Amino acid sequence: MYTGRPDGREKELMTPQLSIVTAKDGHRIRLTADGNQIETLPIEHLAFYVGLGALAAAEIIEWPVAVMMSAGHFLIGLTHRPALKALGEALEER
């Protein structure tokens, strides 16, 4: 009889848990199951991508434009340039 483990013992499975985590770069959804964690992109970024997809699906913007905007948004999110952050903070103060 196969029990799922080479030593013959049954493995106790944990109930998956969903939580929302707040970090300095935004809110994320975290799924924890069996000691493993998976986090999504920040929810704000996911909303941006879904919005672009909806605009492209409704043919308000063209698909290549939506793809290029998504790629640019993703790449800017990876850079975390201090000068851009300082500029954004300065514009927020106005």
Give 51 or 31, the one with higher predicted confidence: 51
Give 6 or 83, the one with higher predicted confidence: 83
Which amino acid, residue 20?
I
Look up residue 21 and give its two tokens.
Answer: 């985590």
Chain segment 35-81, per-residue pLDDT in tens: 788 888 888 888 999 999 999 999 999 999 999 999 988 888 777 66
Give 91 or 58, the one with higher predicted confidence: 58
pTM: 0.59
Asked if 42 and 26 touch (Cβ cutoff 8 Å), the reply is yes
